Structure 1
């Protein structure tokens, strides 16, 4: 699950909590947790919000 792994890796590398990422990306914490756990498909708008928050491209998150 590249997306889940990439979101988790970026969050941990940045020293952020799920709540901090969710707040910064304007997403519900439960959605961020579900994405990291690979339990949820990601709506395009949410994917873009995460990419913007982490300062990476959408393509990078999906690799």
Structure 2
């Protein structure tokens, strides 16, 4: 699975909206939406914050 697919799966499995994840990680919702859609592919700081938020490793999140 790709980063985008993993991110969407984790967020939906946790029952969270993009806005909720953005608030919890202090990342802009546009960055999260961009990662989920594949428009943004390399945002290392954001990926690390999202991995921490979902309790997975960066490697797992990136697929």
User: Structure 1 stretches of 5 or more lacking a match?
Assistant: none
Matched, 1:42 2:42: yes
| RMSD after superposition | 1.0
Q: For the residues of structure 2 that align with 1:16 and 1:42, how far apart are their CA atoms? A: 23
Q: Which residue of the partner structure matches residue 27 of structure 1?
A: 27
TM-score (norm 2): 0.93
Q: What 5-or-longer segments of structure 2 have no aligned partner?
A: none
- Over 6 Å off, 4+ runs: none
